[in-house]
Chains A and B, each alone.
Chain A
Amino acid sequence: MKASASLTLDAIDRRLLNDFQRDFPLCPQPFAAIGKQLGISEAQVLQRLKRLMQAGAISRIGPVLQPQRVGASTLAAMAVPPERLESVAALVNSFREVNHNYERLHPFNLWFVLTASDETRIQEILQEIQQRTGLPVLDLPMIESYHIDLGFPLW
């Protein structure tokens, strides 16, 4: 889902996007609680969030999980000949365990994140991608995280 260039944001939209990235209210009616802070109704909060989600500005309201605390995951990279990039990307996307898959402007031009219930399944998928494409895959699991995700200050 792509936002049109015409996505206009007023002061309330900006606060909805910026102020609730980490401490989202954990109470039975969180959208009413947000409305109270912003001086608008619960229905207006929901309506604005729906619009921002439809426009693609919000991907979800939910958890950002600590990698490797749940299941197994890795970052993988491939150097794909440019004329094969789309078909290899589609093959990678055929695995439901792939949650991010990006082109990057570098000889290693295809980058994807795999999450699965365990390491065995991760290795199976990497093997299968290597066999079906005939291209090597770099397996780059996280060893340590040095960043505490506090959200991203937009304004």
Chain B
Amino acid sequence: MRAEEETALIRAIQQGLPLEPRPYAALAKRLGWPEAQVIEGIQRLREQGTIKRFGVVVRHQELGYRANAMVVWAIPEERVAELGRQMGRLPFVTLCYRRPPRPPHWPYNLFTMIHGRDREAVLAQVEEIRQRCQLKDIDHAVLFSGRRFRQRGACYDP
């Protein structure tokens, strides 16, 4: 797939499939492509990792997972990759990213996202991470979510 085709396909699918019997044909019509090219293109983007997953994207809060916290850790730089991989494997950790620390006000360099039915459930999982990964001496902060001002799929505008 040429780069321009890849970009056009991502733009066409990023806000989601239309809910009609032949959604790929509908997208194909918009792109001026044959239906098979859309399906094969999505397959290709998945295989090459540009698409991490393709499917139903749920809103946790609406489904009873009322609490979500971004839990951030100040890990010594030489241990971030090792601990990140360890945390990223835990089933209740839904994101695990390394980001640059911004001292002095922001010393944290590993970001995890944890969803739970309530705050107590989230805090119990934070405690489990601290024990399993032996992080008792590591500074961390738990940032529960408040109001949502916007939530939608990314809009890339090439």
Contact = CB atoms under 8 A, between A and B. Distances in A.
A11 interface: no
Interface in A111-127: 111-113, 115-117
Contact of B58 (A50, A58, A90, A113): A58
Q: Is the interface of B mostly helix, strand, loop or mixed?
A: mixed
B49 A69 contact: yes
A97 B155 contact: yes
Interface residues of B, number: 71
B94 A152 contact: yes
A117 B63 contact: no
Residue of A22, A102, A111, A147 with most partner-chain B CB within 10 A:
A147
A40 B77 CA distance: 52
B57 A70 contact: no
Interface residues of A, number: 81
Nearest to B85: A146
Interface of B: 7, 10, 13-17, 19-25, 35, 39, 42-43, 45, 49-60, 62-63, 65, 70, 81, 84-85, 87-88, 91, 93-100, 102, 105-106, 111, 115, 141, 143-158
Interface of A: 2-3, 7, 16-17, 20-24, 26-32, 42, 46, 49-50, 53, 55-66, 69-71, 73, 75, 77, 79, 89-90, 92-93, 96-106, 108-109, 111-113, 115-117, 138-154
